[in-house]
Structure 1
């Protein structure tokens, strides 16, 4: 996940100041040096880093902080607030016209992921805004670009308009707009051509397409893994086309994440979406406040709740919540919950979004993909109901039988039992009572 390196550095810096009863100017100076280094290593634009550090330092040295009873916590709050402001402050919604069709023009360099992002955006608008999108194949230069968009459209059951690669993009867009009106499709998403670099031919064509389409949204798609170059690309496209928003792709990859922290400041245009996986539903609205909290290890419970509300069947959740509270949650309950959890995304990524998850030993090495969840379910299904209710009865001979029945190793079985025990401890801390934290999922009962 992007920002992991930055997050670790910032969290370590915050931890050193968190519990201090008194914070001196020297403490702030040392902390700001560490923050500056962390941001620069994450490939954040140096001008953005300088401005950010100065803003944090000025606020941190204010009288309200220095005389506070919890100055360490106050400084951390300032860092979080400034980090949020740096990325845009709040979620910026996509521009949707009151007079259909809404026209969205997808622009960016070749390889940034415009075509797949166009499909993901179409699916998002259908699911979240009840729109009827039309995908337009406006890239006539890249080999197989039209075929790729057709494949994406077929996969998500959304129509694709194309006229082949022998017609100009300007003519394609003109006819696509008329087609959308004729078919009563209220959203047109134009997949435009990109280049390996910005050139005059590309920009002139995009300007002409913009003049014809009169888009409500010009969405710049940027590959977050390109680092500082992503900021330069964003600045160039913004200068020439006056973009309205940015979508960052590959934020789930091993990237420093500095682009996300720089683009908003440099272009003054909001990051509206983030590509969090390669799946067709892997496009998420970008929430600066939630991302800031994740970077600082404070978790992102709201995003998990939204995922749960979309995908989890809520029946019988009160009964499950009671089981979690009285510690009678069993492997059988775990089995049924895993079916629901699989719809939310990789379990390891979900757990990392929990507050304090960065403190859990070994979490950074934990991997639990859909395939691995299937393995866990196979192990549990090879147990008798009595064993699922009372896993402490699993002796060596029973484990050997379960291993043979599930096709998994004894080590995997022991690891599952250990993880289940640790999970129950985490659940106990999250369910309220005896001064513990309340379960952030309320009545939904989800333990993860």
Structure 2
């Protein structure tokens, strides 16, 4: 497989891609507003679209959980709080093609009978916030938002809301608390957002790419979308290659493509170096090595090999990278971003960070490897949200694949990748 499938990215190279004129006439929304809302939900179910935010939950099934005729307002919340190290697809998508998201919001809101939708976006990406607001205003001016959209009788208000830079607000219930004006912390579930979400009303929370994929499904039909990808992982997705790669960037391709194929299109690992390890879905997914180059990048195949497809954030690291130092940097991030609500995550990430610092300096012992493994074991499955599990993933997988490198730090009394110890490492 060497063919890309540019759908969301097809007009990124056009100078007016972010404008309504450069995007098109909202053909998908026009078609959807002439359909029964339940038929729109069924079309998305039939397409096989799964959440593009990491969990891979079937999108149409999530929409179908919303109770109808319950007398409560319904809400759509788009999770645009892209924050995880390595994950970098939603921000360029909103920057280059914001109208795909706006059109998807119109269709999704119509399907779930929501009259108000929100885009929760990171406040730090001010350029994206401005572009989103400009696109939303264009849609209002064209009669694509507001009252009686395109004469259909459907009303929709769309609000762009900026967060304050907390990674935890990428967790859907913490996002809802933040949107309501509270401190962003995960909620106990049940009740789930589909029943009691924003303002205790039925709410659908979808990732940017999930919603932006909907217009093409409605326009071209569910069978067109399901013809791409694999049997259980349908369609296309944006794969983000970063790190030690010749041409880093966004590659929109069918699910099931391999890293080897993507690297071929990206010019390979940077000249003169070889692949050492990589993440299939961002820093919260267990790392892979060179032996996993031909694993199909779909939910089932990646899971069968012990990792997660996640957000398809492929961070590439060559042989010059110290895996202990890389894991330490990720762990420092998770310790800093833990909201502190639950003890396993709050205490566990703190101690993981400090033991890893000692290990990276070469001051630890082999017993410390058992210690951080035990700490990680006591985080997984015991936290309010997935942040704790994400913090443990690099610990377990790095020790599994690179235990000798951890031990080498003790032997040379420091990081063997530092210049002072490079000769020892090369001759070892």
Whether TM-score is above 0.5 comes out as no
Larger Rg: 1
| TM-score normalised by the chain length of structure 1 | 0.30
Greater helix percent: which structure? 1
TM-score (norm. length: structure 2): 0.31
